[in-house]
Structure 1
């Protein structure tokens, strides 16, 4: 066992002043020393922290590492003596096979490249509507509330069949669950409200199916409880991650004017720009896995039952995989980022997210060619980094 490896007793979260897009420097420095480090959880349990691209990708693809939350320890909470319940029915992100496949397989056909391309025209209309509203409200707005949050909210709610009049409350509840700032009481209240609403929605779709994903799923053997869990997972994933990619991506472009100018000059660059922003920002920044048996990883033995923390944002800045990894380069050729994960749990809605980002970024920078930050970059407020999703509280812009 290599005693020279660094040991972390807390997961670094603070980004450096003037570098809001870079992972914490302690994680970068750890990866420079070794792609794997020791980790001691709040309750004293021993674990590992993976920061290198190749090692992290191998963990995500290895069925010997489990996604089951009831087996895990967590970087910010002492769960010693606490019985962590298994994932609720339908919440397949925290399940292994075969339970994971039971929920994912009926959804795969709903999120194909072809079906998402067919949605492009509707995403363009939703985006145009919000840009119209921005223009009327301008010349200064908070891009998070005017643009980044509502566009994916409308898209995912339409896809699931959530009535228009319920979308604002849905967005508010999901935000409380995901943003890392709400109290435990507020999070529980938001979770309860969403669960109660979904129970009513599932019953309504069973009685009167409409043209949406949830109605389609009522024609499977999934129970009402399972449909609630699947719907909650899709809502949370479809709202929060894409919303933060739209706001952080705009912030990154405005902070890199040469790259923004290149995208304005060449709209065909948008596909590559989306992939590079996913790599550069990596909003889904941290995951955990648990070894189900002893596994050799990076020259170390990961003992059965040990939790491994995976720093995806650090892996996506690994110079062994990406040239000049801390540079935002919209013409980058070395793809293969882990922004959507990897393996059996790779993001189910990644093609939908790509469509939303392509449409929204291109439309925004063309509608507002003089778009700029309304405050100094250092005054832009990010969400607390304790949240699993890297995100923004507000982004004041003007034009």
Structure 2
């Protein structure tokens, strides 16, 4: 057993994650989503209220006010979801500012333009597709995937959720930041704890202190000895915010960037890779079609994001009166944009509930849309492409293990992933 196996077991179990957060749902949400969409593309009520499942909300500290719960609305169709994502003037990402102090926890996720644009621009060139396919693969992804594939080659069976899907993204983003070995998982454990309150304010404060301490240690090292890593890049980067002029990022801003990158880069990619592999292995014809024609792999990645996005709902705070799909949204309301529903809108896709690697290409919103489209989407796609290619090269006859529990997609309405993915490798 590797020294970090216990930490992976703790941090990368989708069902346990949902239990810890308190948002586990035991039913397939898509039947509920389809029934809800038939009642209208935009409805009053938060997503869980519209679906009729126990209430939980990622932004509860924002929606619960001294005057009571804010009014909520849910968007379920593609056209209306697209419009909501593009309405940056009236639908704000301030909903993500969950910390009651003035300190930001998630950086650019909590910002609106022009501040958001300036901070995103400081890091965006690191994540464009040419770098994701070139630099990220050459420096980090290829070596990490090859090492995992070689280790799997010593076995006849494996559980890919833990042994591959969890490891590739967290080691990639951690190596890119400069963390190594168990430090990456210690950081992630503290980071998750710093975002929750279930263990009490003292535990949360201790976790926040660990995140800040480990980040500052890396910043101090890179200021003395810059390298080929994200922190060195951010130290050298400038932001140009109107009325402020050009300046370098502060240490606190770099810590916040690292917090967001390690949270998203080590989390969402893990869950989506498991969903992709499950979809390919669940139908032997899909696996064989992609294995024999690797040009189908990138479309399969996109189809996985359309078919089952691992982050099925994003929210926005209305900072002015607006309307979506003819429904009035008063200032101060919260809008839940259901990506999972929009990506299976029958007005946009035929047989939307089917995973189809030959589906004619159309843009989906599995990575979000507009100004806040996922910054790391190209890196996540590269991780999935490299990992699946390696599996197909090393284990062409790989299949779901018939002697183990069948895999299924689980979690909350708000985050989805594979339960476990036991396979026969050879």
Q: Report the TM-score range of the alignment, normalised by the length of the smaller protein.
A: 0.7 to 0.9
Contact preservation (8 Å) 1:142, 1:395: yes
Does residue 390 (structure 1) correspond to residue 416 (structure 2)? The answer is yes
CA distance in 2, matches of 1:320, 1:124: 39
What is the deviation of 1:321?
1.1
Q: Deviations over 1:141-167 (max 9, x none)?
A: 221221011111121122222234523
Contact preservation (8 Å) 1:70, 1:84: no
Contact preservation (8 Å) 1:206, 1:218: yes
Q: 1:45 corresponds to which residue?
A: 70
CA distance in 2, matches of 1:236, 1:71: 16
CA distance in 2, matches of 1:209, 1:247: 35
Structural mapping, 1:29-40, within 5 Å = 29-39=35-45
Coordinate RMSD, CA, aligned = 2.7
Structure 1 stretch displaced more, 237-246 or 86-95: 86-95
Q: 2:91 corresponds to which residue?
A: 65
Contact preservation (8 Å) 1:87, 1:94: no
Contact preservation (8 Å) 2:105, 2:259: no
What is the deviation of 1:190?
4.2
Structure 1 stretch displaced more, 330-339 or 116-125: 116-125
SS at match of 1:391: strand
Contact preservation (8 Å) 2:96, 2:109: no
Q: Deviations over 1:360-390 (max 9, x none)?
A: 112113321222223578653655316x331
What is the deviation of 1:309?
0.7
Q: 2:267 corresponds to which residue?
A: 240
Does residue 139 (structure 1) correspond to residue 147 (structure 2)? The answer is no
SS at match of 1:110: coil
Q: 1:15 corresponds to which residue?
A: 27
Q: 2:147 corresponds to which residue?
A: 129
What is the deviation of 1:111?
1.1
Q: 1:219 corresponds to which residue?
A: 236
Structure 2 residue aligned with 1:263, among 260, 267, 290? 290
Q: 1:366 to 1:71 in 2, by over 3 A?
A: closer
Does residue 363 (structure 1) correspond to residue 381 (structure 2)? The answer is no
Structural mapping, 1:193-208, within 5 Å = 193-208=210-225
Q: Structure 2 unaligned runs (5+)?
A: 1-22, 50-54, 56-67, 238-247
What is the deviation of 1:392?
3.4
Q: 2:362 corresponds to which residue?
A: 335
Structure 1 residue aligned with 2:130, among 114, 129, 135? 114
CA distance in 2, matches of 1:268, 1:44: 49
CA distance in 2, matches of 1:12, 1:36: 24
Q: 1:172 to 1:247 in 2, by over 3 A?
A: farther
Contact preservation (8 Å) 2:219, 2:251: yes
Does residue 162 (structure 1) correspond to residue 170 (structure 2)? The answer is no
CA distance in 1, matches of 2:367, 2:96: 23
Q: 1:265 to 1:379 in 2, by over 3 A?
A: closer
Q: Structure 1 unaligned runs (5+)?
A: 1-10, 17-22, 73-82
Q: 1:163 to 1:94 in 2, by over 3 A?
A: same
- Paired residues, number: 370
CA distance in 2, matches of 1:176, 1:328: 35
Q: TM-score, normalised by structure 2?
A: 0.79
CA distance in 1, matches of 2:70, 2:24: 18
Structural mapping, 1:55-94, within 5 Å = 55-63=80-88, 64-69=90-95, 84-85=100-101, 88=104, 91-94=107-110
Contact preservation (8 Å) 2:97, 2:105: no
Q: 1:61 to 1:165 in 2, by over 3 A?
A: same
Q: 1:375 to 1:385 in 2, by over 3 A?
A: farther
Q: 1:124 to 1:208 in 2, by over 3 A?
A: closer
Q: Deviations over 1:202-232 (max 9, x none)?
A: 1221222111121121123111111100111
Q: TM-score, normalised by structure 1?
A: 0.84
Q: 1:90 to 1:299 in 2, by over 3 A?
A: closer
What is the deviation of 1:174?
5.0
